[in-house]
Structure 1
Amino acid sequence: MRSFADFSNNYLTQPDLVFFNRILQFQNAYYSNGQKERVLEQLLHELCELTQSDSAGLINNKNRLKDVFVNNGQVGLVHATFKNTGTGTGNYQIKKIGEQSMLICSIKDAEGIVGLIYLIRSNQPFTVENYAMIKPAIPILNGMLAYMNLYGKSVPELDIQLKKTASLQLLIESLDDIILELDENTVIKKVWVKDKSKLFMPPELFIGKTLTEVMGGFAYVFMECIHELLITGERQECVYPDFDVNKDFWYSAKFQKIDGENDADAVRVICVIEDITAKKLMSDQLQQSTTELKRINNLLDIGLDISKMGGWEYQLQNRELFVTKQINDIKDLDHQVVLDYKTILDYFDHDNKIILLNTLNEAFKGFQPFDIELELTSATYQKKWVRIAGVPVSENGYVQSFRGILKDITHNKKNQEELIAAKNLAEQIARKRTEILSIMSHEIRTPLNGIIGICNLLNQNDFPDPQIREYLDHLSFSSNHLLSLVNDILDLEKIENKKMELNETEGDLVGLVGNIIKQFQSLAEVKGLELKFYADHGIPSSVIFDELRLGRILNNLIGNAIKFTEKGEVRISLKAVRQEGRMIRVLFKIEDTGIGIPEHLHNLVFDKFHQVQQASHRQQQGTGLGLSITKGLVSLFKSEIFLRSRVNEGTTFEFEIEFEVVKGPDLRRVIKGERRIKDILPGLRLLVVDDNPVNLLVAKRQLWNFGIDAEQADNGYTALAMLKAEEFDIILIDLHMPGMDGYQLARQVQVDYPETKVIIFTADILEEVRMRLAEMGITYVLSKPFNPDEMHELLLEVINNTG
């Protein structure tokens, strides 16, 4: 017994399918064409071509006048008589006649052999495979011979039967379904199909076989339905996929029992097989869409519950309001409570109700969506904030309804209020911090101004006693070191709060670095170090940069290099790495032969208050802020600092900065250079206002060295009295004074004495102070402690702008 797989392997190869289609075409042509012998001849030609035969013949045992021969098929067979000849019990024979080989196949029906088909060829003997090739055509030839023997007989009953059969055939062929007639033992008796390509083998091969023989293991799909049909007599149906797993088709098989007219007649089962692939696909898509929609609705419902948000729709014509259950939850109501357009307004107080109604009215008139926040009182008397948003829905140019959401934002409101409170607190703390830093800066720098100022005055004198000079040097170093610490703390605060900005001016880059190195020359000589400086000749003499911030970077790096180097050298180099148009990029490199830094600490050295300490160098002191500030200052120049170092092999810091090149001579620096030759500024009327007597003394004595006999006042009121009595070219004002502070005095001078130039003389160097002064129109600021050269340059600048 053959399984479905056997038929698939034996009948469904591509060449077989082509041959089957050809046989079916001949079958259709035979029954629909009047030239039936011509069709048989063409069929024999097809078999000759398929088997590479020279000639062929079809013998009709019941009517030898209907024999058909092609390609001189009788040659070599004159001695053979085929009338009523059989081929034995087998279905085929292979004979050798002279140089020719003959394949003879029997055509049988229930009564025996009704005909023969033979093929002749002389090139090579026939084989079993040749018989297998033409075997599918034998059942069709059987039907053709039977029809041929009946054709032309004038039997009325036969004509009627043929007409009925033809009508039934036309009816069946008009259907797209496959129809099988089976007996109660599931043996296939008849097959009707419009499109024979729907079958995996020709319909004739189904006849006389059971479902199991045809379908193999897949027959159980039908057998269960037939078994149930024969027991109950009720119509059965099953849905199954295509037997070929590579095909994505689905079918529906319907089974109907047909009883015979007499009890002796056999029971028949009609099976109608319908291709429902499209219906199944549509059903699956519908089911998938239904499942997805259900999932989306569930997720939406969960999302609305989590977000405490509900949906609503209000119909304007019938005033019908629909709300989701989440709105009942927001109002602390049971889900069974039905809200309408009147009751929902009762949860708002008068003011919020008016706002809501006015908003709806404006949205209706302007065809505009709305989004507002209101406060309501729930059913349990809880105060809640809600967000109500909606959009108008229009039809035929008229607004028919509103749809929107209502969301509980009470928690967001509380968070917002807490955030505002936290922001106000942070701003208050920031202001307090600024005030504390300002006071600290003023209180520390004010006495430092006196110490450093007196040191500067003493340094302008010659002392014959070397011990006095030594004391003076130590005093200057200690006071400047303390000033450096204060500046570090203030600069760190500016960097962390992103309040520091570059103040770029035209300057000599190489000259700046050279002057900084000169300041460290004596310190390097004391330690026995060689201080080397190299500048690339390609660096222009004048570029735009922030001298103060770049100077701080180099001071920190060079100072650290000398500090942590006991022998050897410190090298500072500037190299032009790229120049495009008016921009030049310079590489700064500071190298030493000092103690070095372990690799695992390279990132830590840039942290605040962190110093790399080694057992042999614990005598080195500092705040640990220098490199942290340096890194922040380098980032202001849109650059990054890199470190290379190994223990006892020295350290290298390097970074690159891009500068804008200034074309032409630096006139401002030439003028300043010329004016530095003259230290004396005679004829300048100047008033110094400061409540600290030491600062007044230092300023007056330093101005005296510039040839200026300055007047002084210890408060704002005295200064205004002196301004009223006498004209002054410049007034130096301290900011922090009792009574009338420096801001008030400066404003009064600007209003009442506009010809007098104001210079703010303050120990408060915070950025907020400079911004406030800039808003007042004051640009001249001299920081305490002051450098005599800085005071001199500032006075020259004021005089120059005045003139």
Structure 2
Amino acid sequence: MINERQELEEFFEEAFTYATYGIGKVSLDGSFIAVNPATCNIFEYKQDELSSFKFFQLLHPDEEVLKIEDIYDQINVTNTVAKHQNRYMQKGGKVAWCEVTFTLIRDEVGTPLHYLIQIVDITERKESENKLQETIERYTSLKKYNHDAILSLDLQGQVMNGNKMAEKLTGYKLDTELIGMDIANLIGHENVKRILEDALHDNTVEQGIESIITKEGEEVEVLTSIAPIFINSHNIGFYLIAKDISEQKKLLLAKESAESTNQAKSEFLAMMSHEIRTPMNGVIGMTELLLETTMLNSEQREYVEIIRKSGDSLLAIINDILDLSKIEAGKSELQEDILDVRNSISDTLSIFSSKAAEKQLELNYLVGHDVPEYIISDADRLRQVLLNLVGNAVKFTEGGEVIVRVKKVIVEPDTSHLEFTVNDTGIGIPTTRLTDIFEPFSQVDSFMNRTHEGTGLGLAISKKIVELMGGTIRAESDGQQGSSFIFTIRYTPKISVEHKTKQSLYLPSERPGKILIAEDNKINQIVLAKMLEKLGHSVTIADDGDAVVKAAMNEVYDIIFMDLHMPVMNGFEATKRIKETSPPDTCPIIIAVTANALKGDREKCLAAGMDDYISKPIKRDVVTRLIDQFMNSKVGK
């Protein structure tokens, strides 16, 4: 009996000492009485150190507060042990998850003596559970908030699960209709067969699934991905992820339709430009020639002047309409080069100087000291905006002044902008009209019953140009007197004197030139021929492209004015043949002449080997400048 008792005591001592989980005796107030080595290992304290603690003092500060009295009450109520999982602080500051079982020990009469505790370190298990929970939450979140439909199917092709987007795409309810459904109802039997048989080794299977059949029988175009589902290294099914691309297809079709419309608009503009400018060339050209004769009496000259002015006005209207249409059709682009800011403003104001003098208006401009002398921008476009704004200011101002101010401003980081302000002391603009005056065909003075002429396109064109130049435009006025138009343009700073030499004028050529006109329109032949003959040049006319090429092969010409649209052979093909067959030292200068004035026309001409480009109606000063320029360059050679 004594031996059995001794063996039992030895057994309990060994179990206490060598147990892999913590065993301890805790007093009724929660203080440590005794602990085994495993308890010391769990909390990383020595036995004598733990004896100075009460058990719940080791709880993590973020854990809910527990008291030994709570444990006592719990055991008394349930008449069982009390078990808790909590975080505890180790001596080194690390956290240990522990599952602690409290057993209340009593004497023979039931009086509580102390607690026996068992402590199991469950830190690794908790970390695994947390990772698993995190994975589940991520997957659940992915399914719930993904913008694509996600369906899982088993190896028999049955739907196992899905997300809300799958419900939305297919029209079926997830719990009552989709789960358990044969997915062939959605994508067809052939696609299901290919997924189940080939998806593990062929990633092109998904490319064959281009649509999903909805509950209503509609076919929705989708972009599909297939992913296998593996559990314990075994393939148990597949994910089918489908993106609805029907809206993208609609947008693509709309884009293609818009591009087709723009192409049609461009072709219409080219035709209108050609059809209108060709007869206008005859009207304006013949008028200029008529004014140069000495046979007109004063009355006849007055009538011809009226015709010329009317022709110029009509051409300005045509240019406005075509210009706005070109910009809206996306057929207008910037031609950036060196621009002298002060000269551009000065030149603009000089155009209106005589009109301003008639009205006793002062024209002035002020340029900020930090505005560079030269910038890289589109000089013609800037001049067009200034002409519109200054022209309006002069038109609507009967007394006082018109002033143009320029300053450098910061609109966005690392980008240079100039701000132009055109102020006048004119009739002002109603405050309700400060925005709509930039709409096409809106008249600034329409509220005054059209007392001034104009198409109402100037401000609309200016707005489009300014936006094309990376800026904005607005109007300010109190509606009583005076108005301000403020616009900005983006530019690249450029300070260089080299470009000044490039702006030098060409001296008039003293040698008469031998010139070939390639033109099929009889009136335009007469206009250009008479213009050139009056300048002292020898002129030959060819009616079509083939005749031009033959003429250039039989005679040496200094310059060919090449119409682009001719019968038999167009100007591009004729230019190509002439350039290919003419010796370099006798190859003529070829200047394109076209009734078109659209984006890219100049670039096409230069790319085809032509040396320059002019548009109809042809002005005498433009022709004179080009001839002088190229004749001088020939002499220089």
Aligned mate of 2:600, from 768, 772, 776: 768
Deviation at 1:303, TM superposition (A): 6.2
Deviation at 1:415, TM superposition (A): 5.5
**Equivalent residue number for residue 525 of structure 2:** 696
Cα distance in 2 for partners of 1:694, 1:500 equals 30
Deviation at 1:417, TM superposition (A): 5.4
Deviations 1:111-140 (A, max 9, x none): xxxxxxxxxxxxxxxxxxxxxxxxxxxxxx
Deviations 1:605-630 (A, max 9, x none): 33444344464463234333322322
CA contact (8 A) 1:349 1:376 kept: no
CA contact (8 A) 1:643 1:652 kept: yes
Against the structure 1 CA distance between its residues 605 and 277, is the aligned structure 2 distance closer, same or farther, given a 3 Å change threshold?
A: farther
Deviations 1:297-337 (A, max 9, x none): 54455568x73444689xxxxxx99997369x999998669
Deviations 1:160-203 (A, max 9, x none): xxxx9xx99xx99x9544244xxxxxxx9x997353531899xx
For 1:178, the aligned partner's letter is V
Aligned mate of 2:452, from 591, 609, 620: 620
CA contact (8 A) 1:348 1:376 kept: no
**Equivalent residue number for residue 571 of structure 1:** 403
CA contact (8 A) 1:642 1:653 kept: yes
**Equivalent residue number for residue 496 of structure 2:** 662
**1:595 lines up with 2:427 in the alignment:** yes
Against the structure 1 CA distance between its residues 746 and 192, is the aligned structure 2 distance closer, same or farther, given a 3 Å change threshold?
A: closer
Cα distance in 2 for partners of 1:464, 1:377 equals 80
For 1:719, the aligned partner's letter is V
CA contact (8 A) 2:333 2:599 kept: no
**1:484 lines up with 2:319 in the alignment:** no
For 2:148, the aligned partner's letter is S
Moved more, 466-475 or 784-793: 466-475
Deviation at 1:648, TM superposition (A): 3.1
For 1:325, the aligned partner's letter is M
Cα distance in 1 for partners of 2:83, 2:236 equals 50
Deviation at 1:653, TM superposition (A): 3.2
**Equivalent residue number for residue 524 of structure 1:** 356
> How many matched pairs?
561
Deviation at 1:402, TM superposition (A): 12
Three-state SS of the structure 1 residue aligned to 2:208 is: strand
Cα distance in 2 for partners of 1:505, 1:465 equals 46
**Equivalent residue number for residue 237 of structure 1:** 82
**Equivalent residue number for residue 207 of structure 2:** 373
**Equivalent residue number for residue 325 of structure 1:** 160
Three-state SS of the structure 1 residue aligned to 2:423 is: strand
Alpha carbon RMSD of aligned pairs, Å?
5.3
Against the structure 1 CA distance between its residues 191 and 647, is the aligned structure 2 distance closer, same or farther, given a 3 Å change threshold?
A: closer
TM-score (norm 1): 0.57
Moved more, 695-704 or 753-762: 753-762
Cα distance in 1 for partners of 2:248, 2:290 equals 61
Against the structure 1 CA distance between its residues 520 and 617, is the aligned structure 2 distance closer, same or farther, given a 3 Å change threshold?
A: farther
Against the structure 1 CA distance between its residues 469 and 271, is the aligned structure 2 distance closer, same or farther, given a 3 Å change threshold?
A: farther
Cα distance in 2 for partners of 1:508, 1:278 equals 82
Structure showing greater Rg: 1
**1:706 lines up with 2:549 in the alignment:** no
CA contact (8 A) 1:371 1:390 kept: no
Moved more, 789-798 or 760-769: 789-798
Deviations 1:674-698 (A, max 9, x none): 33xx5x651x121222232222221
Three-state SS of the structure 1 residue aligned to 2:561 is: strand
**Equivalent residue number for residue 241 of structure 2:** 407
**Equivalent residue number for residue 787 of structure 1:** 619
Alignment of 1:179-578 (within 5 A): 179-180=27-28, 193-194=33-34, 195=51, 197-198=53-54, 222-223=72-73, 225-226=75-76, 229=79, 235-237=80-82, 253-255=102-104, 260=108, 266-270=109-113, 272=115, 274=117, 294-302=136-144, 307-310=148-151, 325=160, 347=190, 373-375=207-209, 387-388=224-225, 405-408=239-242, 411-412=244-245, 418=250, 420-460=252-292, 465-496=297-328, 498-505=330-337, 509-532=341-364, 546-572=378-404
Moved more, 493-502 or 689-698: 493-502
Aligned mate of 2:478, from 646, 653, 664: 646
Against the structure 1 CA distance between its residues 176 and 564, is the aligned structure 2 distance closer, same or farther, given a 3 Å change threshold?
A: farther
Deviations 1:534-590 (A, max 9, x none): 678998987765432222122111111112112222234567999xxxx99876443
CA contact (8 A) 2:159 2:180 kept: no
Against the structure 1 CA distance between its residues 661 and 705, is the aligned structure 2 distance closer, same or farther, given a 3 Å change threshold?
A: farther
**Equivalent residue number for residue 26 of structure 2:** 178
For 1:428, the aligned partner's letter is S
Cα distance in 2 for partners of 1:419, 1:227 equals 70
CA contact (8 A) 2:435 2:474 kept: no
Three-state SS of the structure 2 residue aligned to 1:254 is: strand
Alignment of 1:48-127 (within 5 A): none
**Equivalent residue number for residue 39 of structure 2:** none
Against the structure 1 CA distance between its residues 664 and 382, is the aligned structure 2 distance closer, same or farther, given a 3 Å change threshold?
A: closer
Deviation at 1:596, TM superposition (A): 1.8
For 2:573, the aligned partner's letter is Q
Q: Which runs of 5+ in 1 are unaligned?
A: 1-163, 181-187, 202-216, 230-234, 243-247, 261-265, 314-319, 364-368
**Equivalent residue number for residue 133 of structure 1:** none
Deviation at 1:480, TM superposition (A): 2.2
Cα distance in 2 for partners of 1:604, 1:387 equals 48
**Equivalent residue number for residue 91 of structure 2:** none
Deviation at 1:699, TM superposition (A): 1.0
- Structure with greater contact order relative to length (CA < 8 Å, sep ≥ 6): 2
Cα distance in 1 for partners of 2:32, 2:386 equals 101
Against the structure 1 CA distance between its residues 524 and 345, is the aligned structure 2 distance closer, same or farther, given a 3 Å change threshold?
A: closer
TM-score (norm 2): 0.70
Moved more, 646-655 or 379-388: 379-388
Alignment of 1:146-161 (within 5 A): none
Cα distance in 2 for partners of 1:176, 1:626 equals 95
Q: Which runs of 5+ in 2 are unaligned?
A: 1-8, 35-50, 58-66, 88-96
For 2:115, the aligned partner's letter is V
Against the structure 1 CA distance between its residues 584 and 291, is the aligned structure 2 distance closer, same or farther, given a 3 Å change threshold?
A: closer
Deviation at 1:520, TM superposition (A): 1.9
Aligned mate of 2:559, from 730, 736, 758: 730
